Chains A and B, each alone.
Chain A
């Protein structure tokens, strides 16, 4: 298969022009770190955007950064870290899930709208995407949004491009909002609260004014899959509540959160060396929450992986219905990760029925290609939504040359 690696916008237009003229289908990629994400597609050529790389504008005082779509996330991370800032939505790195060493590109991240644990407090990637430039399937360069935080000037196409998996346009340049990084991170690790208790704890934490920036629960099976020896050795389910903020006040917030947990009267099973509640320091917190955001627990296994977004209170019913081999939740119960055997239809019917009852959606994040061929990777849409989806595809890419089929058949 031809691989085009355009390094200028003229070259990119040439590729798209060629595809239009010759009715060729293009597969768009950055570092190809998430190759196994989405429906398998057939393409005639690959457009590799990693040649279009580089931060083009960074103004820490204005809290914005602009970069070409092929810019490695690693480079962006480093630039921001050096200035004490970060992408507040905590971009997950899923490369390891698909056997890639790469951390991905900004364009790939935007195209998949991935957000990590801090999403519950700081919002999703789409909430931090201020402006996009892209080339449509009509081979027209267009822009939308801008470089300022507040903007109601025309439709919010950045929202539409975020999470469109390259099916609407080839992203070329992106402007994102950046935020100061917290001085301190602390995690309350509560051992032994299982099922409804864990759910109740996370809910109470999120309902408190303590600005909890992460709330996750790992059952015992998943705890054992952590790469951190100090975690994997704990023979208990763990509930994790994260606080981030200023050095001057983090201590008081940790104390208040400890009191809240105590008041909650959850029956805890203290372990030797792991009294009911432990406070994790910056280093351990950072590593553990990376595992939570990156789904690292399941990376080495060959499980098929479902990602369910639902209202947090449906956590236990969904987990109970599916009966996965392993699972955990993030977003205070609103994001459920289910690991099932990579066989048959990867329990698609079971998962989808449970989610349909609760409201929300389930995506088959990882599975062998054969399963992704026959199972809807993205949550099936009703007729009206499916028509809108088709119409929008048609508005950007009428000949369906861009990543066609990656999300839905014929889209």
Chain B
């Protein structure tokens, strides 16, 4: 994985830039010494590290705007960062780039229960939004496992999901408005407290754009009333295929559960060792199905789901009797990553999505690859929406292991694409999957996407080197060859 080569002119201007920042930013908002820069040298994809040229931590939108305008004028690269929990290296610094940390934007601006929304600064954590409205019976639906740490701005940039996506959608389906500062320093508001865009859906476009189009300085999210009751079924299966069949049969019965999560045997034993959620240890696959709604409804559905599970061969069926038990069922799944972290010095979390029915064959192939590379793999799966998280275990201190892990990961993602899926379900492309984009897209597809980038950032200064495998200048991308003088096409049906 290569980052764009550092530009000498930028590096030469480093001190001038820092001085300029200090003119309008408080002392504590500019970090330029190596020990403190270290804290920012990677995001959640810790295999890749790079010291930024300088870190700025603005406190106001006006400061963000000035920082960007200055960088725009001095032709300096900027990498936005939230909490740095991203798993694809989207917030990986550039050696000749300013790292723009949004951590100080940590206030909730407005809670509007009548319009069922919350306005938050981008550095507010995902969980803090729910916490702010919980006492009034509301919550913010997307719930990434990193929700205590990750920021809502980062969630928008990555279009983050969680375990409740099938029923409640991803970030993109749950936000109403954004305030964005463009690379030029100009500010634009997209959406608001109302539904749906006027004009092009720039709100939708910004979501999942991985910090390449603009810096998010405010987010308006939709909040939902908390369901009266949620219950979970914990189902053990003798093999992955029958668990997969159970998921398919639940959906075919017209049921859209709030969550459906599948873990393989390795994940089950890792989580058991970590936090004792009481998962059936004899099962090859454990499925958690959560139903929420009114009491009558949930009770009826959980029974129906249990029946379907038995019919598809479940060897153990437990349903949560109370809230404590439901949370216990989830404790294992929610702690799957740290639990796996205990098994091995390092792990790399993959994030492909596949059409659900492909699960058994994809997992079989992953197992084969695991043997080929000699690296263990643990699988957790958002079964409802086909989002697969194979965790590859490795030891970065051993020679070749990083390279092997990368190659193994790439093979998994190619496999997902070949199965009709995509490279990333919720973690984004970042630098991690950047060079695989060609597996999914043609050059024309990618150039069209880069033209969209040009519409926002014609000099390509915002988070370059991420998402796109090849960097083209906007002038190059804008060229078009038109063959004049060709006659109208004789074969075309006209009326």
Q: Name the one of B117, B255, B356 contacting A180, with C-beta atoms under 8 angstroms.
A: B255
B128 within 8 A of A: no
Binary per-residue interface labels of chain A (327-340) against chain B in the complex, 1 for a CB within 8 Å, 0 otherwise: 00001001100000
A75 within 8 A of B: no
Decide if B296 touches A152 in the complex (CB within 8 Å): no
List, in ascending order, chain A residues with CB within 8 A of B205's CB. Answer: 155-157, 159-160
List, in ascending order, chain B residues with CB within 8 A of A246's CB. Answer: 297, 300-301
B115 within 8 A of A: yes
Bound-state CA distance A209–B208 (Å) is 29
Binary per-residue interface labels of chain B (477-495) against chain A in the complex, 1 for a CB within 8 Å, 0 otherwise: 0101011111011011111
Decide if B448 touches A359 in the complex (CB within 8 Å): no
Decide if B353 touches A384 in the complex (CB within 8 Å): no
Residue of A nearest to B182 (CB): A384
Stretch at the interface among B184-192, B366-374, B391-399: B184-192
A249 within 8 A of B: yes
B317 within 8 A of A: no
Residue of A nearest to B157 (CB): A152
Tell me the number of A-to-B contacts counted with CB atoms below 8 Å.
305
List, in ascending order, chain A residues with CB within 8 A of B448's CB. Answer: 136, 140, 142, 144, 157, 395-396
A228 within 8 A of B: no
Decide if B194 touches A361 in the complex (CB within 8 Å): yes
List, in ascending order, chain A residues with CB within 8 A of B386's CB. Answer: 62, 148-150
A385 within 8 A of B: yes
Binary per-residue interface labels of chain A (261-304) against chain B in the complex, 1 for a CB within 8 Å, 0 otherwise: 00000000000000000000000000000000000000000000
B446 within 8 A of A: yes
Nearest chain A CB to B463 CB, angstrom units: 13
Q: Count the B residues whose beta carbon is within 8 Å of the partner chain — how many?
A: 108
Decide if A152 touches B294 in the complex (CB within 8 Å): no
Stretch at the interface among B18-26, B52-60, B246-254, B270-278: B246-254
Knowing A113-B196, A149-B386 are in contact, say whether A313-B252 is a contact too (CB < 8 A).
Answer: no
Nearest chain B CB to A250 CB, angstrom units: 9
Classify the secondary structure of B's interface with A: loop
List, in ascending order, chain B residues with CB within 8 A of A48's CB. Answer: 495
B437 within 8 A of A: yes
Stretch at the interface among B71-79, B224-232, B336-344: B224-232
Nearest chain B CB to A217 CB, angstrom units: 15
Decide if B228 touches A209 in the complex (CB within 8 Å): yes
Residue of B nearest to A360 (CB): B194
Decide if B199 touches A381 in the complex (CB within 8 Å): yes
List, in ascending order, chain B residues with CB within 8 A of A210's CB. Answer: 294
Nearest chain B CB to A81 CB, angstrom units: 13
CB-defined A-B contacts under 8 Å, sample of 20: A11-B489, A14-B492, A17-B486, A62-B356, A142-B444, A146-B353, A146-B421, A150-B385, A152-B159, A155-B208, A156-B159, A206-B116, A206-B225, A249-B293, A249-B300, A309-B194, A359-B194, A381-B199, A385-B190, A408-B199
Further 8 A-B residue pairs, CB within 8 A, beyond A140-B444, A152-B424? A62-B355, A124-B196, A146-B440, A150-B165, A151-B425, A152-B429, A207-B113, A392-B200
